[in-house]
Amino acid sequence: MNNETIRKFCLSLPKVTEDIKWGSDLCFCIAKKMFCVMGTGANLSIFFKCSEEDFNELCERDGIIPAPYLARNKWVLVQKESALSKDEWKHFIKTSYNLIANSLSKKLRIELGLM
């Protein structure tokens, strides 16, 4: 999946907004909390949160490393498009979305129509 396909997928998820942070990173958020970050440079760089189990498995793959500054919170940095299949891209981005959405307060999830 390329950057534009990933962007469209992220924006297809309920209540997602996009924003540019740190000058050049495209951030996808739910209730102002990031679940996916895409570098806008020439090289692929996509960050997302994952479960602890997935984090360990993904970091063993070629083209995926613990995300700088975010690894302690189980975020990975994908540097090769081929590191994940199309279905895996969707699965892991959706999982990241769900992890962040589920961390929101019950009241906020109700306000956003996520419950």
User: Each residue's pLDDT tens digit in the chain (115 positions)?
Assistant: 788 899 999 999 999 999 998 888 999 999 999 999 998 877 779 999 999 999 999 999 999 999 998 999 999 999 999 999 999 999 999 999 999 999 999 999 888 888 7
Provide the pLDDT for residue 98.
Answer: 95
Residue 7: name the closest of 31, 39, 53 by CA. Answer: 39
Per-residue burial over 82-101, b = 16 or more CB atoms within 10 Å of its CB, e = otherwise: ebbeeeebbebbbbbbbbbb
Please tell me the CATH code under which domain 3-111 is placed. Answer: 3.90.1150.30
pTM, full prediction: 0.92
Judged by DSSP in three states, 102 sits in helix
Structure tokens at 26: 């495209």
The total of other beta-carbon atoms located within 10 Å of residue 52's CB is 8
